[in-house]
Structure 1
C-alpha cells in the first residue's frame, strides 16, 4: 500500500521516518533506472503546474526534467504570470488549478501561502522553497549522504551545518534530523540559532531515533569528527545591502575553509553546499560583496574547498531531480511499487 498517495509535501515533518526512507529508496531506484535507460513512465499524461513567485535554476529544472522523464506535462507560471493573492485569492487559485492539474509545485516567500494552497487543493502540493522550509533540497541531501557513506545508516551520520542556522536549510535539516536520527550540529553565532521551542522539539524527537542535535558557537566543538560540513549562502536577494554587510561581519569567522576542515580531525570529511555558492568573484553579486567587504577568497566557502568538493556538491544538485521525481511518483500513483 502506497501511504504517500495524494500526500502533499510542505515540510519534512509532514512525514514519518518510514516515509522519508521510502522516498529516498524510490529516488535511488528511479535514479538507477534512468541511468540504465530502463525508466518506466509512471506519470504518463499527468499534468503538473509549477508556480514560481521566487525565481530558481535547480528547482525549476529538476521539476521539469523529472516530469518530462516520466511522460508528464508541465505549465510554468513565473513571478509575474499569475494573479495569485493579488487579483485572485490563494484559496480560489487552489480550487481552479485542482480542476486542471494533478499536482502543484509552489516556490515563493511566505510559508502561509503554500499552507493555504494545500488546504484548498484536492491534489498534492509540493514545496519548492519558502522562507521557512526547503524540503526538496534536504531530501536530495539525505540521498547524497547515503550514497557517499553507504556503509552507514543516516542515524549514524554526523553533519555540521555552519552559518545562518535559522534559515530554511537549517530549519529543514532540524526536521530531517528529528525524523531519521541524523547527528546534527548547528554551528553559528547565537543570534543565528533557530527558535528555542522548535529546536527542543526536534532535539527530543531525534533522541527517539538515538540521534542528537546541538547548537554551538564553537567551530571546534561543532565540526570535530563530523562526516559532513554543510553551508549555504549568507545573503538573500531583496534584502538591504547593509543587512548583507552586517551579517557577513558576524559570520565571517564561520567561513568553510581549510582551517575549519583541519579542526574536524577527520580527513574523510566532505563538504556540502546547496548552491548557488559565492566561492569566487565570477558573479555580479559575488564580486560586489567581496569588493565591499574586503574579501578575496570566497564568502561562505573558499574557492579551494568548493572546488575540492565539487563532485559531491554537484551530486547534491543532480539528486534534486531524483528525489523530486520520487515525490511526484509516490504522491500521484496510488498503486506504485518497485
Structure 2
C-alpha cells in the first residue's frame, strides 16, 4: 500500500522520528563521502505551480544523490495548465514515474492528485501546509538541543502554512508550542481543533495569543516567517501595519531562554519580521535549517519510494 506525505497530520510520532533518523544518517554519509544510491533507476516528477529556490534545488540535488532522476515539470509545460483534470494527469504520470512532488496553491489539488495516483505524492508546499520545511525545522532543533520532548517552541507571525504545519509537527514530536498571531490572520479552526486533540492526548500544551512577548517567554526555540506569503504580495502594506510589534528582535529574545535558537524558513525580509542583528546572530542555525531541507527530503524520498 502506497504512502503519501500530504500534511503533517499524516505522520505518527514514530514515523516522524524515523524520517529524522534516516535524515541524520544520510547527512552523515554525505559529509563523509559515502554514496547512498537507495533509489537507483527511480524517477521523481516535480510539479511546480509556485516558484521556488530551496524546494526545487534540494529535491533535484537529493534525488540525484540517491541515484535517481529528478524531472522538473512546470505547470506551463503540463496539460494541467490547459485544463486537463488533475485526476487524468495523476493517472498518466503514475504510469511514467515512481513518485511526484508537487508545489502548488490548493491543498485540495494535492489530495486529489494523491487520491488518483498509484505512486507516492509529496506536498512540497501549499497554502495550507509545508510539511517538508517543518520536518527540516524539527531536524535542526534536535541537532541543536539533542532532544525534542518537552521543549517550548514560540512561533511569531502569520497564521499561514508554516504555522499550521508547525502546530501539528511540534505537538506530534512531543514539544509544546505557543503561537503569537494577530486576530485577523489566524490559523484555520481545523488546525486548532487538531492541535488541542494532540496536546490533550499527549499531556502537552499549546496556546494562541496576540502578544509576542507572552509567546516568547521561556521559549527554547523562536520561529518566524514572512508577513506576506507567496500569493499575498498585494497585501504587503496592510500586513506591515497589522504585524507591527510581531518582529523577532533583541528585546523579544531577552524573554526567551538564554540558549534559545532562532529559525526562519527563508527567504527573510530583514527589518520586517526579523532584524538584521538577530538573523545574523543566529545565521549558523538558520542556514543549517536550510541545508537540512536536503537531508530530510532525501529521507522522505527513501521512506516513501524505496
Q: Same fold, TM exceeding 0.5?
A: yes
2:17 equivalent to 1:21 = yes
2:41 corresponds in structure 1 to 45
Q: How does 1:43-122 map to 2 (within 5 A)?
A: 43-84=39-80, 86-122=82-118
Show the counterpart of 1:275. Answer: 266
Deviations 1:47-105 (CA, angstroms, capped at 9, x unpaired): 11100010100000110011000110111012412121633110010011000000000
Bigger radius of gyration among the two: 1
Quick check: 2:171–2:177 contact (8 Å CA) kept in 1?
no
* Residues 158 and 183 in structure 1, CA contact (< 8 A), matched pair in contact too: yes
Q: Secondary structure at 2:4's aligned position in 1?
A: coil
**SS, match of residue 174 in structure 1:** helix
Q: Give runs of aligned pairs for residues 265-304 of structure 1, distance below 5 A.
A: 266-279=257-270, 298-304=271-277
Counterparts of 1:233-248 in structure 2, within 5 Å, are 233-239=226-232, 241=234, 243-248=235-240
Q: Assess if the C-alpha contact under 8 Å between 1:43 and 1:70 holds in 2.
A: yes
What is the aligned partner in structure 1 of residue 218 from structure 2? 225
Provide the aligned C-alpha RMSD in A: 1.4
Q: 1:217 to 1:238 in 2, by over 3 A?
A: closer
- How far is 1:198 from its partner? 2.8
3-state SS, counterpart of residue 155 of structure 1: coil
Find the aligned partners of 1:99 and 1:303 in 2 and give their Cα distance: 48
The equivalent position to 1:130 in structure 2, one of 100, 109, 126, is 126
SS at match of 1:10: coil
Aligned partners of 1:58 and 1:95: how far apart in 2? 28
SS of structure 1 residue aligned to 2:2? coil
Question: Which residue in the other structure is 1:259 paired with?
Answer: 251
Which among 188, 200, 216 is matched to residue 195 of structure 1?
A: 188
Q: Which residue of 2 aligns with 1:36?
A: 32
How many residue pairs match? The answer is 306
CA contact (8 A) 1:31 1:322 kept: yes
Answer yes or no: is the 8 Å Cα contact 1:45–1:71 preserved in 2: yes
Partner of 1:175: 168
Match 1:327 to one of 295, 300, 303: 300
Normalising by structure 1, what TM-score? Answer: 0.87
